[in-house]
Structure 1
Amino acid sequence: MPEQLTNGQYHTVYNLLSLVIAAQLFTSIYLLVVQPRVLPRYRQALVVAAIVCGIAAYHYFRIFDSFRGAFVTDAVGGQGTYTQAAGSAFNEGYRYVDWLLTVPLLLVELVVVLALAKKLQTSLLVRLIPASALMIALGYPGEISGDNLTRNVFGLLSTIPFLYILYVLFVELTRSLDRQPPAVRQTVSRLRILLFATWGVYPIAYLLPLLGLDGADAWVGKQAGYSIADILAKALYGLLIYRIARLKSFADDPAFAEVEGGHDQAVSHEHLDEGQPKAAKVGR
């Protein structure tokens, strides 16, 4: 952690943390409110998505308080340079506690919303949940270490379960998507890419000290990267889970789709996937 931040650096982190709190908190509320918009069998996935965002909002409140306590200024109106407060430090551990809880739950959301066969669902969960928890647990010792060798070792170790998770999501899960509605398959593909892209931000931020980037600018960049990635990987991800639940609800129950106004959308996606003529696609 830098010993001081400029006024601009301080307020960049301050405003980003505030943005994450708002995004996670109100996405959590939204996902709870829209429960009746999907069939009962898919509501568990939305509850898990809401819990993920709620956990993130709570920890960002703690991160926000830790940040405010770690840097202080004597300037009138808070417009001067912010220095590290005596006896205080920014607690990066809050992020890892959050990830340890939410990353496994993100994978639970995806598996549960697909409503796969019980045996397959259990098989996926018993592999993905321990792998994701291990990935986070192995990354933390390197994060808090000032020694590059330690960061290298634990960074490499945490990459192993990360690659295994990608294998399960992009190879094994793909084999299970044939019976899903076409629109669901498309959304799952986007969702997996979102996970890959956002999770990729974390190791980049983790490696900044190893790349020779340090000081206040690097620290602020790391906090910005973590914050934006958390919005995408939790709030946006949760909204995509809601979209999958809606599409599957429409496909399962045409009467429900009619009431919810999703009948035409579900039918159009089915026709496109079946290779309708171009003119039909344009006139959709």
Structure 2
Amino acid sequence: MTNYMLFPSLVTKMLPTDYVGFTFFVGCMAMLAASAFFFLSLSQFDKKWRTSVLVSGLITFIAAVHYFYMRDYWAAFQESPTFFRYVDWILTVPLMCVEFFLILKVAGAKQGLLTKMIVLSIIMLVTGYIGEAVDRDNAWLWGLVSGIAYFVIVYEIWMGSASKLANAAGGNVLAAHKILCWFVLVGWSIYPLGYMLGTDGWYSGLHGLNLNIDVVYNIADAINKIGFGLVIYNLALQSQKE
């Protein structure tokens, strides 16, 4: 069995045609760079916004660590690192929900909103993992449950209490909230596409697109996690100027 200690040498032998491995490598470097940026910028913000920027850095740092392992797993086995990916998501996606709560605290967001968002995100991820790695024969059913949880999150931030709080806050908070909402609606929607590409169900016709599930996930992760952080960073920066 291949030893993990050999992974660095395997990575150095990555073929130039291995575009999947390339996206893992770029994802790892991009997440590390974003983490350094967010952490090093903390000193310029007051306590009100420092936690939000810190969480942005934690999201990308956690992702970078997991991408390091996922990159090596791919290099060693040429298989999708499903387990590592879902461990990453189970840590980072709830933190992205925390970001909504943190920016809406100025409008009086309560703990209940945070709990609801985190529980929904965990349901979305756990059922997704079961469908993709545990009970693949019923992947469509688990994907449906995961999708329902996702759409409840979308409703909450677009039309539910989170939306009302953002409208009450107005100004930069409302503008940032709307951008984050678009990330969830459009950016997160890439994940169900990856799920359907990697499992069988009524949607199996998508397999003919010849898209690699890991490429889809890697691009989505880079856009969503780094993009989320940059929106929070810009909000904190603009609020400092007021």
Question: Normalising by the residue count of structure 2, what TM-score does the alignment of the two structures yield?
Answer: 0.84
- How far apart are 1:114 and its partner, in Å? 3.4
Quote the residue 1:279 is aligned against: none
- How far apart are 1:227 and its partner, in Å? 0.4
Quote the residue 2:155 is aligned against: 167
Quote the residue 1:102 is aligned against: 92
Judge conservation of contact 1:55–1:98 (CA < 8 Å) in 2. yes
Percent of aligned pairs sharing the same letter: 28
1:198 equivalenced with 2:187 (yes/no): yes
User: CA 1:90/1:185 → structure 2, altered by over 3 Å: closer, same or farther?
Assistant: closer
- How far apart are 1:69 and its partner, in Å? 0.5
Quote the residue 2:218 is aligned against: 227
Question: Normalising by the residue count of structure 1, what TM-score does the alignment of the two structures yield?
Answer: 0.73
1:36 equivalenced with 2:43 (yes/no): yes
User: CA 1:159/1:152 → structure 2, altered by over 3 Å: closer, same or farther?
Assistant: same
Quote the residue 2:82 is aligned against: 92
Give the Cα separation in 1 of the matches to 2:148 and 2:30. 31
> What is the count of residue pairs matched by the alignment?
223
Deviations 1:75-120 (A, max 9, x none): xxxxxxxxxxxxxx543111111111110000102221333355x2
- How far apart are 1:191 and its partner, in Å? 1.7
Unaligned runs of 5+ in 2: 1-14
Give the Cα separation in 1 of the matches to 2:73 and 2:136. 24
Alignment RMSD: 2.1
Give the Cα separation in 1 of the matches to 2:207 and 2:105. 46
- How far apart are 1:53 and its partner, in Å? 0.5
Judge conservation of contact 1:113–1:245 (CA < 8 Å) in 2. no
Quote the residue 2:76 is aligned against: 69
Deviations 1:228-251 (A, max 9, x none): 100111011111111111222333
Unaligned runs of 5+ in 1: 1-6, 72-88, 252-284
Give the Cα separation in 2 of the matches to 1:129 and 1:244. 22
Judge conservation of contact 1:181–1:248 (CA < 8 Å) in 2. no
Quote the residue 1:21 is aligned against: 28
Give the Cα separation in 2 of the matches to 1:48 and 1:37. 15
Deviations 1:241-265 (A, max 9, x none): 11111222333xxxxxxxxxxxxxx
Quote the residue 2:5 is aligned against: none
Aligned pairs for 1:111-150 (under 5 A) are 111-116=101-106, 120-144=109-133, 147-148=136-137, 150=138
Give the Cα separation in 2 of the matches to 1:183 and 1:165. 22
Deviates more, 1:93-102 or 1:172-181: 172-181
| Equivalent residue letter for 2:99 | E
Quote the residue 1:3 is aligned against: none
Judge conservation of contact 2:107–2:165 (CA < 8 Å) in 1. no
The structure having more radius of gyration, on CA atoms, is: 1
Give the Cα separation in 1 of the matches to 2:170 and 2:43. 21
Name the one with the larger helix percent. 2
Quote the residue 1:207 is aligned against: 196
| Equivalent residue letter for 2:24 | L
1:250 equivalenced with 2:241 (yes/no): yes
